[in-house]
Chain A
Amino acid sequence: DIVMTQSPDSLAVSLGERATISCKSSQSVLYSSNNKNYLAWYQQKPGQPPKLLIYWASTRESGVPNRFSGSGSGTDFTLTISSLQAEDVAVYYCQQYYSTPQTFGPGTKVEIK
């Protein structure tokens, strides 16, 4: 199974500042035949189901603000919130869908400083 790790476990960022979350996979999730990274990012606010933010590691889902961006390839990925807003307080999860069982990272909690 592919193990996903995230860092940090939590971070506090001032409003308008940048938040950066790291996600690493225990093996590459880059599929060579189509050069796509099988990685997604989700946002989960308290009491709500997760919301898809990013897929293919860097493709923003429709309706997601452009302050959210994903980058990386192979085994190392990053989710960046360029200018943190109050509504971005949530837990963020990465997920690989390269192979089954699909696996999530443990989550990173983002708070306002």
Chain B
Amino acid sequence: QVQLVESGGGVVQPGRSLRLSCAASKFTFSSYGIHWVRQAPGKGLEWVAVISSDGNDEYYADSVKGRFTISRDNSKNTLYLQMTSLKTEDSAVYYCAKARGSETPAADYWGQGTLVTVSS
């Protein structure tokens, strides 16, 4: 069964940086695009970013463009989200989610999420 395990969340002050990781297993990581999706407490889902299977293409939500960077290391089966200039509105549970396929970007497997709290 596909596994995605996020880590790296925590409490951080506004303006600081944080890097999230997503460790993948039990599927061919290098063959699939991966998303980051976030959910503020008690709110709906917000798509954050996606990276292609080979890491050559990245796309971002307007709310994080220029501040967040998605990357991956296919040799380590790991996805990353580097977050800089954090704002209080970035507080959320961050999920990594596997794209169903190259032609089907819908997310078919999700991790349990890691909580990021941006607060002074």
Q: In the bound complex, how far is the Cα of B108 from the Cα of A61, in angstroms?
A: 8
Chain A 87-113 interface mask (CB, 8 Å, partner B; 1/0): 000010101010011111111000000
CA distance A104 to B47 in the complex (A): 7
Q: Is the CB of B45 within 8 A of A50?
A: yes
Inter-subunit contact B104/A56 (CB<8 Å): yes
Partner of A101, one of B47, B97, B106, B111: B47
Q: Are B106 and A40 in contact (CB under 8 A)?
A: yes
State whether A104 and B105 are in contact (beta carbons under 8 Å apart), knowing that A49-B95, A49-B111, A49-B113 are contacts in the complex: no
The interface centre, meaning the residue of B45, B108, B113 with most chain A CB atoms within 10 A of its CB, is B45
CB of B34, distance to nearest CB on chain A (Å): 13
Residue B86 at the chain A interface, CB threshold 8 Å: no
Q: For the complex, is A77 an interface residue (Cβ under 8 Å from B)?
A: no
Structural contact, A106 and B44, CB atoms closer than 8 A: yes
- Alpha-carbon distance A52/B111, docked complex (angstroms): 13
Q: Report the minimal beta-carbon distance from B28 to chain A, rounded to whole angstroms.
A: 18
CA distance A32 to B44 in the complex (A): 30
Interface of A is mostly: loop
Contact B110 A50 (CB under 8 A): yes
Sampled A-B contacts (18; CB under 8 Å)? A1-B62, A40-B107, A42-B107, A49-B110, A49-B111, A49-B112, A50-B97, A52-B108, A56-B104, A93-B44, A95-B47, A95-B106, A100-B50, A101-B59, A101-B62, A102-B47, A104-B44, A105-B44
18 other contacts beyond A50-B107, A95-B106, A104-B45, with CB at 8 A cut-off?
Answer: A42-B45, A49-B111, A50-B37, A50-B97, A52-B100, A52-B107, A55-B104, A55-B106, A61-B108, A91-B44, A97-B105, A97-B106, A100-B59, A101-B47, A102-B35, A102-B50, A104-B47, A105-B44
Write the residues of chain B forming the contact surface with A, with a CB cutoff of 8 angstroms.
Answer: 35, 37, 44-47, 50, 59-62, 95, 97, 100, 104-108, 110-113
